Amino acid sequence: MRMLRMACFSLCALLVDVGSTSTPALEPTESAWMRGDECLEGPESPGEEASKCALSAIQRRSAKLAVQDTVPDSVTARPECGGKAGPKKVIFIQDACLDDFLSLAALARAHKAGEIELLGDIVVNGDSTLPDSMVVNYKFHQALGIGDIPLLLSRARIFNQFPWLYRGDTYTLAKTPGIESMKFDIPWKEYQDYPDGDEWLVKTLQDACPSSITILHVAALTNLQMAFKKDPSLPQKIKELVWMAGAVNVPGNTDGTGKHGLGHGYRGMNSYAEWNVYADPFAAKYVMETTTFPIHLIPLDLCNKLPLCNDDSCEFMNSLKAEDKANCAYPEIQTALKQAFTKSIAASPFMRLWDSAATAYVLKPHLFLDQGTTQLAVVTAWDNFGRLVQPKDAGKSGKGETHFRTVSASFNLTKPSAYTEMYTFLSSAACDR
């Protein structure tokens, strides 16, 4: 068996190396629209063949097998780790922004249906305000019937916290009639009372089987860096990291020009970075450079195409409003989501389905177009702080992009109708169907 694994590892490494220099063509029946606006590596010319826009499924599977085979035999020998695989084990790490609560409703539905096993929900206090972030999450847990799922608070301190104007969205959400109508006794009175999300994360990963945990992360990676530094063996327990982050072939959203709303304008902002990377580029760089588990990004390249409601499309909001709360298992949640989203888009028409798009990827991956892999590095030089840069752009954005890491990313859904399917799926999250 050891010899077989070594042979597989060699073959997989060969396939990965081949994939880094050339990519097989897409099936001829796939349209140019489905290939996406640009290749992950960036097209050399408008007429570039689709072969530069995708890696084959066999290569991607082989790459993952190569990573998984590096786990020592002593770790894989645990009897409980050799059984039949069950539902996907998911840890949700969020920052209590508006679409995180939509994500939570979708995850709760999937958990209760046995489609996933939601292990825990960790709030990173960088994009919201306490105590509202934990209060609203607690109410959602109770109202959605997942009060038994641990809700915890990370003690991580984000390098660049979200602007205060937007962090106040959580307070606004907490004061909507739908949320205030949920009468639950909040168990925490002081900061120190909150369950420690960092200790729980370390212990949960230590107890997990190798390559068994999906981390759905929709915030800065500060808490992952903390956990991995505390116990460097933890990354081998992770099956994949799905991260809403980055802007690969599109502008970022930290430019401070006002295009993305008032409240930006920090000195040092740039037109390349996306907030979840910009919030802590040092943590992102650490995770990218010290781990080997697969990373899948849901970047602005895709999220920009998912408006809540603007001049281009109101499909999501129309779908959300069309859901009759009388037909929903959790009408108070549905009411709260409608109120919160309606109020938010009035003040912030630039909002997109950012974090909930990453959640949809975990729950409905078939909707997302597999466009292959690319090499990315995290820039920590001040001029382009937080940029995810490709090799073709290395040296153009200051120092710091010296270590490139292979990641996959989604720039499009599979076809136009998949957007409607995703909107319907998310807007009905409180309806158990």
DSSP codes joined into one string, 186-231: -S--SGGGS-BHHHHHHHHHHHSPTT-EEEEE-S-THHHHHHHHH-
The residue-averaged pLDDT of 293-309 equals 94
Q: Pick 88-431's CATH classification: 3.90.245.10, 1.10.10.10, 3.40.50.10190, 3.40.50.300.
A: 3.90.245.10
* Phi, psi torsion values for 281, nearest 5 degrees: -60, -30
Contact call for residues 211 and 236 (beta carbons, < 8 A)? yes
Dist. CA 389–CA 246, nearest whole Å? 9
The residue-averaged pLDDT of 143-170 equals 88
Phi-psi domain of 33 (left: phi exceeds 0; alpha: psi -120 through 50; beta: other): alpha
**Beta-strand runs (E) in 35-177:** 88-94, 116-124, 151-154
pLDDT at 310: 81
Place 217 in a pLDDT band, splitting at 50, 70 and 90.
Answer: very high
Q: Match 């709260």 to its residue by tokens.
A: 336
The residue-averaged pLDDT of 177-205 equals 95
Q: Match 């409180």 to its residue by tokens.
A: 430
Q: What percent of the chain has pLDDT over 90?
A: 52
Q: Is the pLDDT confidence value at 30 over 60?
A: no
Q: Is the pLDDT confidence value at 373 over 70?
A: yes
The token duo for 287 is 């995770």
Q: Is the pLDDT confidence value at 160 over 60?
A: yes
Place 245 in a pLDDT band, splitting at 50, 70 and 90.
Answer: very high
**Domain ranges within the chain, ordered by starting residue:** 88-431
Contact call for residues 400 and 379 (beta carbons, < 8 A)? yes
Top-confidence residue, 82 or 377: 377
Phi-psi domain of 229 (left: phi exceeds 0; alpha: psi -120 through 50; beta: other): alpha
Dist. CA 147–CA 155, nearest whole Å? 22
Q: Quick: pLDDT tens for 36-51.
A: 334 454 433 333 333 3
Q: Quick: pLDDT tens for 65-99.
A: 333 334 443 444 566 787 777 899 999 999 998 88
